[in-house]
């Protein structure tokens, strides 16, 4: 009888325990999701939701010049200024450049893409007619680029971050590197050239990591780093912060196959249609983000940081697409504030056993000889390098601890993380890398970094002083030798400034990244030339009326909203 009465008691106890456990799981899940919602960046999610709905349309004729609701008088000034600028652009490119540019436009898909994304969609058709941007360059001398017709321009693009020490220096790296490996040849792959003994120890010392993996590009290296973090932690979720660019994404654990793309998953904002259930976008420098990382640590494979966000943390760079929102841009306090944030983030990651990954493809050897780790005094778990490290050749490098660099599972022989590449650690690439590492480790190089940073700081102060005195609605800001233009009033035509800069002889990136660069070979005279070119461009743009619209940021947003809504309705009715 006692056994009979005891059984229901055991069953009730088991039921209570099950209910308590289920309640705990529900409360825990809810708490995590509430934390996530409190610090999640809406940018990539909103962009993905809007992408299938927003349709293309063009503002032409009078509408092209009055998109912010300006007066007819201002529109007439803008048109006259645009006509003059168009003639200046036509004179910038000689006959050989124009012919080659036509060849590129008609056959190179990369150019077709960049030409489309240089300007907000509403203005693309008319702008393309007026300003042909050619970039067929045949030689360089110092910081000056020379096109096929002999035209010269000062390069402030920095080749998207590659050019740290100056193009002439890279030419020497390649020449000396080739001399060191030419007996073997550039494409004897598989065997490792002994020059790796000059590269590997220096990379381990600079990165303060145990192991190194070589790759063919910074994008590929980011793919590798994220894939290895997922593989070795057995977690699928990666965290990145709003506004950061990381070049690529890696495998989905559900499918067990390699998936990658410049925009897929990791790349936030317009353009990425990939499902992002394994990528979590959090607000930068947000205290709740730290709580979220701690609470969801058992799901997170790594926290991926772009240290360049110290320039404008939490916000995308002011690229052409971002300027579509026509809001006033503000740079959050950088320097010490961002450094403190990174140190706190590192502590949270260490405490909760979450790998911290520094994507230094851009900042490595740009911010300091030891990259952002040295600049901010933060030792990340994994660091990715690229761009300038190759000494003039394409490359990518991942440095990390042995526990996160494993590509196989000792206990499960069929668990393997395939990360391979035919030209990884190619002899010529390693030779040029060795030359660069030798250069960057010299004491006099440290002095060059310090001088370039101080010159850039002084340049920014000098430019901003004139901009304020002349009531020009912009300012410049910098982080070491990286600088950017920020606008101090709302406007729908900020993207036009890049064309005025080009007309003044400054060479910019093909796609507006919102960031410009000074290489270490810029002299004080070169800085002054860039300053005067920027000021002339700003004065002319103001004179031509592009900042004379009376609309506020909210007014401009409403105008754009009405345009898009009308176009969606009109195009549906036309079907």
8's tokens: 């229901």
pLDDT in tens, the chain (575 residues): 455 555 677 777 888 888 888 888 888 888 888 888 888 877 666 666 666 777 788 888 999 999 988 999 999 999 999 999 999 988 888 888 888 877 777 777 777 666 666 788 889 889 888 887 767 889 999 999 999 889 899 999 999 889 999 999 999 999 999 999 999 988 888 888 999 999 999 999 999 999 999 999 998 999 999 999 999 999 999 999 887 777 643 333 333 333 334 434 455 555 555 556 788 889 888 999 999 999 999 999 999 999 988 876 445 444 433 333 333 334 434 568 889 999 999 999 999 999 999 999 988 999 999 999 999 999 999 999 999 999 999 999 999 999 999 999 988 988 999 888 888 889 999 999 999 999 999 999 999 999 999 999 999 999 999 999 999 999 999 999 999 898 888 889 999 999 999 999 999 886 555 789 999 999 999 999 999 999 999 999 999 999 997 777 777 778 887 888 887 787 777 77
pLDDT, position 250: 35
CA distance 501 to 534: 6
pLDDT, position 553: 72
pLDDT, position 275: 55
Contact 237, 301 (CB under 8 A): yes
Q: What are phi and psi of 282, to 5 degrees?
A: -115, 160
CA distance 497 to 517: 17
Domains of the chain: 62-164+445-558 (3.90.1150.10), 185-322+333-441 (3.40.640.10)
pLDDT, position 361: 92
pLDDT, position 32: 83
Q: What are phi and psi of 279, to 5 degrees?
A: -130, 130
| Residue among 185, 279, 275, 189 at smallest CA distance from 241 | 279
pLDDT, position 274: 57
Q: Which long-range contacts (CB under 8 A, 24 or more apart) does 146-151 make?
A: 147/93, 147/94, 147/97, 148/94, 148/96, 148/97, 148/100, 149/93, 149/94, 149/95, 149/96, 149/97, 150/94, 151/92, 151/93, 151/94, 151/97
CA distance 67 to 79: 13
Whether this model's pTM surpasses 0.75: yes
């Amino acid at each position: 009888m006692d056994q009979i009465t005891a059984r229901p008691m055991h069953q009730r106890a088991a039921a209570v325990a099950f209910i308590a456990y289920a309640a705990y799981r529900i409360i825990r899940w809810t708490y995590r999701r509430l934390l996530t919602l409190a610090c999640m960046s809406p940018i990539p999610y909103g962009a993905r939701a809007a992408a299938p709905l927003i349709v293309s349309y063009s503002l032409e004729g009078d509408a092209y010049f009055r998109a912010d609701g300006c007066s007819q008088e201002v529109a007439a000034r803008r048109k006259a200024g645009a006509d003059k600028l168009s003639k200046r652009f036509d004179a910038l490119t000689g006959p050989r450049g124009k012919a080659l540019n036509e060849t590129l436009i008609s056959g190179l898909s990369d150019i077709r893409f960049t030409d489309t994304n240089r300007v907000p969609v509403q203005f693309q058709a008319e702008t393309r007619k007026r300003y042909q941007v050619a970039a067929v360059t045949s030689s360089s001398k110092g910081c000056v680029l020379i096109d096929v017709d002999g035209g010269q321009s000062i390069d402030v693009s920095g080749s998207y971050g590659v050019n740290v020490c100056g193009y002439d220096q890279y030419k020497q790296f390649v020449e000396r590197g080739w001399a060191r490996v030419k007996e073997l040849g550039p494409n004897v792959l598989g065997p490792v050239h002994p020059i790796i003994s000059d590269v590997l120890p220096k990379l381990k010392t600079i990165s303060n990591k145990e192991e190194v993996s070589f790759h063919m590009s910074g994008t590929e290296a980011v793919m590798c780093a994220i894939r290895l973090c997922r593989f070795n932690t057995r977690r699928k979720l990666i965290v990145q912060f709003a506004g950061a660019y990381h070049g690529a994404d890696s495998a989905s654990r559900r499918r067990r196959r390699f998936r990658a793309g410049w925009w897929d998953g990791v790349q936030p904002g317009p353009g990425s249609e990939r499902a992002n259930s394994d990528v979590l976008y959090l607000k930068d420098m947000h205290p709740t983000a730290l709580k979220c990382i701690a609470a969801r640590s058992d799901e997170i494979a790594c926290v991926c940081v772009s240290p360049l966000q110290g320039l404008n943390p939490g916000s995308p760079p002011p690229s052409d697409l971002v300027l579509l929102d026509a809001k006033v841009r503000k740079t959050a306090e950088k320097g010490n504030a961002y450094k403190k944030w990174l140190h706190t983030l590192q502590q949270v990651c260490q405490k909760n056993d979450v790998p911290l990954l520094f994507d230094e493809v851009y900042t490595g050897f740009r911010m300091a000889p030891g990259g952002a780790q040295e600049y901010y005094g933060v030792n990340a778990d994994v660091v990715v390098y690229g761009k300038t490290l190759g000494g003039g050749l394409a490359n990518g490098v991942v440095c990390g601890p042995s526990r996160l660099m494993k590509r196989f599972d000792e206990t499960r022989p069929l668990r393997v993380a395939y990360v391979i590449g035919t030209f990884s650690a190619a002899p010529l690439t390693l030779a040029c890398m060795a030359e660069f590492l030798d250069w960057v480790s010299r004491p006099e190089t440290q002095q060059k970094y310090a001088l370039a940073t101080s010159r850039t700081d002084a340049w920014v102060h000098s430019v901003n002083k004139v901009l304020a005195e002349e009531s020009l609605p912009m300012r410049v800001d910098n982080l070491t030798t990286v600088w950017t233009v920020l606008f101090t009033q709302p406007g729908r035509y900020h993207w036009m400034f890049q064309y005025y800069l080009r007309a003044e002889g400054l060479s910019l990136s093909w796609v507006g990244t919102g960031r410009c660069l000074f290489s270490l070979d810029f002299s004080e005279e070169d800085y002054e030339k860039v300053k005067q070119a920027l000021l002339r461009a700003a004065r002319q743009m103001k004179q031509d009326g592009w900042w004379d619209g009376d609309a506020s940021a909210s007014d401009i947003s409403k105008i754009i909203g009405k345009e898009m809504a009308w176009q969606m309705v009109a195009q549906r009715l036309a079907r």
